[in-house]
Amino acid sequence: MTTTLARLLDGRMPDPDGPGMLSVPIRHVVIAPTLAGGEADLVGRLGFGRRIGIVSDVRTRAVLAERIETALSPHHDLRMIVIEGEPHPDQDTVARVMAWVQGCDALIAVGSGTINDITKYAAFQAEMPFAVFGTAPSMNGYTSVSAAITVGGHKKSLPARTPIGVFLDLGVLARAPERLVRAGFGDSICRATAQVDWLMAHRLRGEPYRTAPYALLAEDEAGLIANPAALLTGDLVAMERLARTLILSGLGMTICGNSKPASQGEHLLSHYVEMMAMPDLPHALHGEQIAVTTLAMARLQARMINGPAPVLTATRPNALSLEAHFGSSIGASCWADFAGKRLNEAEAFEMTTRMRGLWPDLTSELRDCGRPAAEIEAALLALGAPTHPRDLGWPNGLTRDAMVHAREIRDRYTFLDLGGDAGLLDEQANAWVRCPQHPGAARGTPAIARAVGRERRLRLERRDALLPFGSISTITSMWNCFRCWPVAANRTKF
Ligand SMILES: [Zn+2]
């Protein structure tokens, strides 16, 4: 364990933003080449009662939960909960887990994203302490306070509790499926774009900002980016860097009490797609999407930062346009978030004038904390991670809409807002969908765009807009590049 994480856990890490030390609610984080043989001791230190429920799925049971069961059974009464099939982090699954673990004193999650979310939320609801043994370095949610749970078809970030202990066995993580490793890298590399967005909002709009979350990550990022491919070859030093980065990224959010340090424009793009996609969109992991959207944000940011101070005009989207795009109920809730970010004519003029003075200093500061898009792309490619929306099977219409409309779904002020009010997003959206192999090829037609728009509106009214063989938007993604369409059948790399 590096000094940064150890010092943070012991309360000996000075707060770079003020007096005193940083403090986090988790004491027991262990990242080690192997935890085999030490499981009972690790759990023993947590002060859990005798009865423990262990939550896993079929895969994570075989990978790790069986080993933990063997280690703990002499000391505890165990109830093994194995979620069959593909686990879904929804209310039903949480309710089933809660019914199974009634009477337990504490819970242990053995898994990564989904199992962690389900157990974390069940523990919160049942007011039980919990700990997690991770099985994959796929996301930064091990140490965060919220859980991603689907409620009535909508994915929500619900308050949960932080685990008392987080235990990562690097040998286990190194054997995780490659997709999960790539996803974890994607959810880490967005540090750069998130920091640039947040710092810009701080400088231009006076939003509270902290450097502490980034001070925690500084030690490992360069090493991680220098040789991402090592993550797939069983290199435990590289794996430890990624594991520590994910843990510290979660702790950074916990310190700030919100997700701002690790979730800005790149996350808005991904959330927009999850919200608006047809149900037949191929499933992609959160971190795989973030890999693609981080690269898009890095390009938008670089274009603006390396250019002249932008000239803003009054914000164009309004209550009516949001309702037309998102439907009346989602549109109204988006409007509640978006309205506060809008600029009127006078405000746009004032900000343009102010930026002209600030631009040289601001952009050099932003350049210092960002990372060139080419570097991000090279790292993702070296890891075999997705870089283009087509790698995820995103239809061009959806991708283009994400760039233009993602800023409308939340109150977070990012370069999507600055770019939007500077009139750059349409062009940026077209550049984003361009086929990487055939940049000059034709992309869709107005008739397809109209059909897709009609389909989206039907879906928002909650009517079944799917054709028997898929959605128009997904099927027509094969026309996005006329020269690529014969391979559209396997348009997802994974
Ligand atoms: Zn994320």
Q: 32 alpha carbon to ligand 1 midpoint, in Å? A: 24
DSSP code at position 112: S
Ligand 1 centre and the CA of 247: distance in Å?
Answer: 12
Q: In the chain, what percentage of residues exceed pLDDT 70?
A: 91
**Residue numbers of the domain that contains 298:** 196-214+257-443
In a domain, 426, yes or no: yes
Q: Which of 49-63, 211-225, 251-265, 275-289 has the lowest mean pLDDT?
A: 275-289
User: pTM higher than 0.75, yes or no?
Assistant: yes
Between residues 159 and 308, the one the model is more confident about:
308
Distance 346 CA to ligand 1 centre (A): 36
* pLDDT, averaged across the chain: 90
In a domain? residue 382: yes
Write down the H helix ranges in 230-327.
Answer: 236-256, 265-276, 286-305, 319-326
276 found inside a domain: yes
**Is 200 part of any domain?**
yes
pLDDT at 434: 83
Domain assignment present for 45 = no
**For every residue of 355-403, which 3-state class applies, written as one string?**
HHHHHHHHHHHHHHHCCCHHHHHHHHHHHCCCCCHHHHCCCHHHHHHHH
**Domain contains 373:** yes
Ligand 1 centroid distance, CA of 363 (Å): 25
Compute, in angstroms, the gap from residue 192 CA to the centroid of ligand 1.
13
The first and second tokens of residue 338, run together, are: 């978006």
Q: Report how far ligand 1's centroid is from the alpha carbon of 140 (Å).
A: 7
pLDDT of residue 455: 76
Q: How confident is the model at residue 277 (pLDDT cuts 50, 70, 90)?
A: confident
Q: Structure tokens of 382?
A: 């070296």
Task: Give the Å distance between the CA of 467 and the centre of ligand 1.
Answer: 32
> How many other CB atoms sit within 10 Å of the CB of residue 62?
12
Mean pLDDT (whole number) for 353-369: 97
pLDDT value of residue 488 = 45
When pLDDT is averaged across residues 194-200 and rounded to a whole number, the result is 98
- pLDDT in the model for residue 489: 42
CA–centroid distance, 37 to ligand 1, in Å, is 32
Give the residue from 295, 310, 292 showing the smallest Cα distance to 200. 310
pLDDT at 492: 45
135 lies in a domain? no
Residue 478 confidence class, pLDDT cut points 50, 70, 90:
low
For residues 431 and 218, give the distance between their C-alpha atoms in angstroms, rounded to a whole number.
31
Task: Using CB atoms within 10 Å of the CB of residue 111, give its burial: 0 to 12 exposed, 13 to 18 middle, 19+ buried.
Answer: buried
pLDDT number for residue 146 = 84
Of 299 and 397, the structure prediction assigns the larger pLDDT to: 299
Measure 286 CA to ligand 1 centroid, in angstroms.
Answer: 6
Based on its alpha-carbon atoms, the radius of gyration of the chain, rounded to whole angstroms, reads 23
Q: How far, in Å, is the centroid of ligand 1 from the Cα of 38?
A: 31
Quickly state the pLDDT bin for 147 (edges 50, 70, 90). Answer: confident
- Find the 283 Cα to ligand 1 centroid distance in Å: 16
Q: DSSP strand E in 11-116: where?
A: 28-32, 51-57, 77-83, 106-110
Q: How many whole angstroms from 294 Cα to the centroid of ligand 1? A: 10
CATH number at residue 356: 1.20.1090
Q: What's the CA-to-centroid distance between 48 and ligand 1, angstroms?
A: 30
Domain count of the fold of the chain: 1
Residue 23 lies in a domain: no
- Lowest mean pLDDT across 23-37, 113-127, 151-165, 335-349: 151-165
The span from the CA of 173 to the CA of 176, in Å, is 5
Angle formed by the axes of helices 265-276 and 396-405, to 10°?
Answer: 130
